[in-house]
Structure 1
Amino acid sequence: MKNILVCTDFSPEAHNAFEVALQLAKRTDGRVTLLHVLEEAEGVAGGFSTMGIPTGAHSVDRIFTIKLLETTKRRMHFLRDEAAQLAPEVPVHDEVEIARVGDGILHAIRRDHPDLVVLGARGHGAVEHFFVSSTTERLIRLAPCPVLTVKHPHIDFDVQNIVFPSDFAADAASALEGLRQVQADFPNATLHLLHVAAGGSGHVAQQQMEAFAQQHHLLNCQTAEVDAERTSLGIEEYAQQVGADMVVIPTHARSGLSRFLRTSIAETVATHAFPPVLTYHLAA
């Protein structure tokens, strides 16, 4: 995770994500690209030039957009200055996209090929920020790289407890590559293998988790099963119970796979659980 893209709307949640990204880059000797997407104002026709200036727009719209770009660049430079104080060894580059928010982020991902996207997450109803659930959920579904959602401040992002929910059936083995990468980045963390069930399947699930850990030589791990009305709720409650520093959820867009690989569960946990949530897609 050396090439990290951080999306910002200058909200407190986005700033929390920025600080986590800097700490991750310090750990991996990586670099950070700071991205802000400036939405095209309604009524501005004709598009934008390569300098980000509206073409074919009314003079008032043109002036407004230029001023907004200038303000945005100043705020981005302020964040770069802050990064130089917090993590002087981490190279930080800033970019501004002019597009719809989700489209602009996806365009930057496809252009820059980051190893990880980090963004602040905030639930439905936060209309003053563009990182509402719908944007987060769209990135989880469509981004080709792992996505880390951050909601709260993490002054010292030292991951000691990682929760990995699964049903530990055959599909679970396909998630190992991403899980091993997380363990490589945080080798001292305890890995919590979690099964969420509705009813008493505990003995069978416990055997499956232990067999999974043994078969794939997973070290420093614990197993647990919880009962919950919804899988996402069980994950959130267990993560809070063990003081998880990160929840890792693989997803797959294909139908017919385990419910633990459904993007809907990853989206819900990413926008509701307290700790940062890392989602990634399984290979087709």
Structure 2
Amino acid sequence: MISIFVPFDFSTTATYALNFAKSLATNYSKISITILHVVEIPLSTGVGTMGGGLDPIPDFENQLFFKELIDLRKKQLEALEKEYANSDFTLRTKLILGNAFKGISDAIHEAKPDLVVMGSKGTSGLEEIMVGSNTEKIVRTSPCPVITIKSETDVSTMKKVVFASDFRDSADEVASRIKRIQNLFNAQFYFVVVNTPGNFESTRDSMSRIRTFVQKHNFENIKAEVYNSLSEESGIIEFADDIDADLIAMTTHGRTGLLHLITGSIAEDVVNHSKRPVWTFKAN
């Protein structure tokens, strides 16, 4: 049984993610989909003379609205369960109260699904610098692979997959995950190294590392490429555009706190800015 979590806020992009998760049932005979919906508790921003922080809004009007919202979401989730009761996959729903990121993250770490599929609108500008999106945070912290979806995506058409890396780390776990993706979609893989002005090397050296990785792990149906760009993030997105890729696959190191603020994450940047689906998985 393949377990898939789909964080779901009833938005258009969340529906795209759910449709993608459902379509995976055509490739796997036994799939369990769990829809996670978080109702965020309304908070008061007022601070009294004695100090204090953010507290749940106590007034009756907001309490009544919050109760009505919970009742509505429960009915919507029950309707989804009934709609797919006789499907080729198992679908269940889970309602969580609290912060969206924490609720989703805690559920993922507790249940340990095989895959998370999330809709994403991406972020840019000040929002990206100061806050980032819930999707980006899940990509960074999830112990299992995450696929981010931004438009309606047909699993059956995923035949070109870009795996971007420097190929300096030939870990068995990374190779194993790539093969799972390749087998799932029966896809042509493009292994690409992005050359940048600040981190330049010869094509011969880059191609040598890719060949070593391919030979060590017995990959087949692989095309090796070296792509020149001003940054790794833009190079990955541009290369995927140039070959009209169906999916970008990347590893993320899951840095948090100060280290994340200093070094950032190429994978998270690609998730934010790519119009294509991105499959990320954490590399130890």
TM-score range, shorter chain: 0.7 to 0.9
Q: Aligned letter for 1:270?
A: V
CA contact (8 A) 2:253 2:282 kept: yes
Match of 1:250 in 2: 251
Match of 2:22 in 1: 22
- Choose the corresponding residue for 2:189, options 169, 186, 191: 191
CA distance in 1, matches of 2:60, 2:255: 48
Q: CA deviation at 1:35?
A: 0.9
CA contact (8 A) 1:162 1:246 kept: yes
Q: CA deviation at 1:222?
A: 0.5
Q: Secondary structure at the match of 2:10?
A: coil
CA distance in 1, matches of 2:169, 2:34: 37
Q: CA deviation at 1:190?
A: 0.5
Distance 1:194 1:125, change over 3 A: closer
Match of 2:276 in 1: 275
Distance 1:4 1:253, change over 3 A: closer
Distance 1:192 1:263, change over 3 A: farther
RMSD over equivalenced CA pairs, Å: 2.6
Distance 1:216 1:101, change over 3 A: same
TM-score under structure 1 length normalisation: 0.82
Match of 2:159 in 1: 160
Unaligned runs of 5+ in 2: 46-55, 126-130, 257-262
The sequence identity of aligned pairs, in percent, is 30
CA distance in 2, matches of 1:158, 1:83: 24
Unaligned runs of 5+ in 1: 45-54, 127-131, 256-261
The 5-angstrom pairing of residues 117-266 of structure 1 reads: 117-124=116-123, 133-171=132-170, 175-186=174-185, 188-198=186-196, 199=200, 201-253=202-254, 264-266=265-267
Q: CA deviation at 1:200?
A: 6.0
CA distance in 2, matches of 1:120, 1:93: 18
Q: Secondary structure at the match of 2:191?
A: strand
Aligned residue pairs total 259
Is 1:33 aligned to residue 34 of structure 2? yes
CA contact (8 A) 2:145 2:282 kept: yes
CA contact (8 A) 2:163 2:190 kept: yes
Distance 1:94 1:263, change over 3 A: farther
CA contact (8 A) 1:248 1:279 kept: yes
The 5-angstrom pairing of residues 55-94 of structure 1 reads: 57-81=58-82, 83=84, 88-94=87-93
Q: Aligned letter for 2:68?
A: K
Structure 1 range deviating more: 147-156 or 73-82? 73-82
CA distance in 1, matches of 2:222, 2:132: 31
CA distance in 2, matches of 1:185, 1:195: 23
CA distance in 1, matches of 2:248, 2:155: 17
Structure 1 range deviating more: 23-32 or 270-279? 23-32
CA contact (8 A) 1:120 1:149 kept: yes
Distance 1:244 1:206, change over 3 A: same
Is 1:107 aligned to residue 106 of structure 2? yes
Q: Aligned letter for 2:102?
A: D
Distance 1:269 1:81, change over 3 A: farther
Q: Secondary structure at the match of 1:170?
A: coil
Q: CA deviation at 1:78?
A: 4.0
Is 1:2 aligned to residue 2 of structure 2? yes
Distance 1:78 1:230, change over 3 A: farther
Match of 2:50 in 1: none
CA distance in 1, matches of 2:255, 2:134: 21
TM-score under structure 2 length normalisation: 0.82
